[in-house]
Structure 1
Amino acid sequence: MTNGYRFEFRPYQRRFVRTLTTNHGTWDIREGIILRLTDELGKIGWGEIAPISWFGSETLEQALDFCRQLPREITDEIIFSIPDELPACQFGFESAQEWGETQLIASVLGSEFFSIPNAPCPMPHAQFYSALLPAGEAALNQWETLWEQGYHTFKWKIGVYAIANELEIFESLIDTLPAFTKLRLDANGGLSYEEANLWLRTCDTLKANVELPVEIEFIEQPLPVEQFQQMLELSTSYKTAIAIDESVATLRQLAACYQQGWRGIFVIKPGIVGSPSRLRKFCHQHKIDTVFSSVFETAIGRLAALRLAAELSQNNRAVGFGIDHFFEQEDTWFQSLWNDL
């Protein structure tokens, strides 16, 4: 796309089919902003701002305030000068600016756009995705449906209920999942140091069982962000890998954790991490072990995020975008937003 663009935006709301429960609390409605940039040749670029303030990004209101104060005509200079305090805005505007360069322009946004498996996506098959299971016992009732859809990697939320109950459910899940399944445990920073040790010891014990058909891939963000040094210590004390997520929500945090010695797995949420161009530069320079993950964005943000994942993933880990079952089909509400624009 060229240097000057006509800028338009619309806020959106999407209700989860079922309440999403994590250590951070419950989540019923996903809110965000769809951006449209039209260049001087009439080519359209789409972007999405999908903040999660409790995870480390700006708030939705801050993002809306930023969009409202922009002129109707904007330039690359404006896009690439968005401050680091607005990382979801950085991602949304740069993604829209890059849209034309990827040839995913307005013609893509026909009926096939709303069915992501048929859209021009670099990783179209479910086996490349990690499917998110609900917290607690509900996971035992849902994995089979997702397995039949082609998912072989699952992420299960822990640190939500009493640890004794979760460990019991975990053992049932391990006994039930088919061979060659990969399982990720995501605590969202909700464990105490003692609980984190217990989970890691339990996983190490299970991994020592050569007949265990399920691979426990890693425990994600076992401790709060402020306990980074303890997570660094734990990462060298157990065979079970640790991934950091909330600790690296933004590019600034990503660089800080790397500088402090983290060489384990980095879970990157493109929708809130910040500038895609700067993320590329960092990943190419440091060759970090990444897992790219969703922020429950729409198809627009997901396409941009998956292109980054395809380009920057080093170890072919499943991407954390298996979340479609948390929403109704996008077609109706999104087409309405499209027509409104």
Structure 2
Amino acid sequence: MKIVNVITHAFVGDLNHPASNSRSIWMTREGTLLQLVDELGNVGQGEASPLPDFSTDLPGLCETTLGNLEPSSFPVFDITGDVLAQVQQSLSLVDLNAPAARFALETALLDLFGQRLDVPIAALLRSRPHRDPIALSSVIFSEDKIGALAETEAIWERGIRNVKIKIGRIHRFDRELEMIEAVRERFGKDLAIRADVNGAWDLIEAQEKLEALTPFDLEYVEQPVVPYLLLKL
């Protein structure tokens, strides 16, 4: 398999609903779509859409990094060989400090291999032929119980039974408790609820608020404090 063309498209799109956590709010997403074309005309696609302040690379860096890739940079791939080893070796074309760009490259190559071998990408990643399925999860970004219930209802209808609710916004904990309580009461124990604070609490806050969350049987609370304080909880 030979890469004969590399195409990149920078994009910016408005979100249907604003997404936020305790630190940021996003109205749009931007990134770069990478397309790798092989000698048979197959197109493998990957996307680099890093979040500002949450990744070491930015959309502009991804666009430049991926735009610098040339077909001649790639080896000729052996589709009968070790797919993951060949993909891993090709990741050296992108700097380690650009993880989103590396993800786009990895995904595009796996997409191409999957097309050539007529298997889904998931099959290429399996270490055993039959593995237990991984349950899907979805993030709830709403800041009130009405919105959270509506989001969870839509997720439930899709068959998803795991949600992560973003909390930790300043002076909003009472509303966040109401939101979690409403979701738990509506969907019961059949729904796994997780919470993500994004390190917004200090130690005293975390101890008090984790105690307040106990009655709602959360599966876990992610990053209640910044990493260096975790061992002090």
Query: Is TM (by shorter chain) over 0.5?
Result: yes
Give 1:222 deviation, angstroms. 1.5
Give 1:19 deviation, angstroms. 0.9
Amino acid at match of 2:57: E
Runs in 1 of length 4+ with deviation above 6 angstroms?
Answer: none
Alignment of 1:282-293 (within 5 A): none
Give the structure 2 partner of residue 216 of structure 1.
Answer: 218
Give the conservation status (yes or no) of the 8 Å contact 1:5–1:74.
Answer: no
Counterpart secondary structure, 1:46: strand
Amino acid at match of 2:110: E
Matching residue within 106, 124, 131 for 1:94? 106
2:210 aligned with 1:203:
no
Farther off after superposition, 140-149 or 156-165: 140-149
Give the conservation status (yes or no) of the 8 Å contact 1:7–1:74.
Answer: no
Q: Matched residues in 2 for 1:181 and 1:92: separation? A: 32
Give 1:104 deviation, angstroms. 7.1
Counterpart secondary structure, 2:207: helix
Asked which structure has the greater RCO (Cα within 8 Å, sep 6+), the reply is 1
User: 5+ unaligned residues in a row in structure 1: which ranges?
Assistant: 109-119, 208-214, 235-341
Cα deviation code 1:31-79 (max 9, x no counterpart)? 1111111233433322111112310230111112223334454314764
Give 1:134 deviation, angstroms. 2.5
Q: TM-score, normalised by structure 1?
A: 0.54
Q: Matched residues in 2 for 1:104 and 1:22: separation? A: 40
Amino acid at match of 1:95: T
Give the structure 1 partner of residue 58 of structure 2.
Answer: 59
Cα deviation code 1:213-255 (max 9, x no counterpart)? xx4111112123xxx2321343xxxxxxxxxxxxxxxxxxxxx
2:204 aligned with 1:182:
no
Alignment of 1:36-55 (within 5 A): 36-55=35-54
Q: Matched residues in 2 for 1:41 and 1:149: separation? A: 36
Farther off after superposition, 156-165 or 71-80: 71-80
Counterpart secondary structure, 1:80: helix
Q: Matched residues in 2 for 1:50 and 1:66: separation? A: 13
Give the conservation status (yes or no) of the 8 Å contact 1:135–1:160.
Answer: no
Q: Matched residues in 2 for 1:99 and 1:143: separation? A: 31
Give the conservation status (yes or no) of the 8 Å contact 1:183–1:217.
Answer: yes
Q: Matched residues in 1 for 2:9 and 2:232: separation? A: 45
Counterpart secondary structure, 1:103: helix
Bigger radius of gyration:
2
Cα deviation code 1:285-336 (max 9, x no counterpart)? xxxxxxxxxxxxxxxxxxxxxxxxxxxxxxxxxxxxxxxxxxxxxxxxxxxx
Give the conservation status (yes or no) of the 8 Å contact 2:65–2:94.
Answer: no
2:163 aligned with 1:154:
yes
Cα deviation code 1:129-163 (max 9, x no counterpart)? 21222232121343223323322111111012422
Give the structure 1 partner of residue 201 of structure 2.
Answer: 191
What is the RMSD of the two structures over their aligned residues, measured on CA atoms?
2.9
Give the structure 2 partner of residue 293 of structure 1.
Answer: none
Aligned residues: 208
Q: TM-score, normalised by structure 2?
A: 0.76
Give the structure 2 partner of residue 140 of structure 1.
Answer: 149
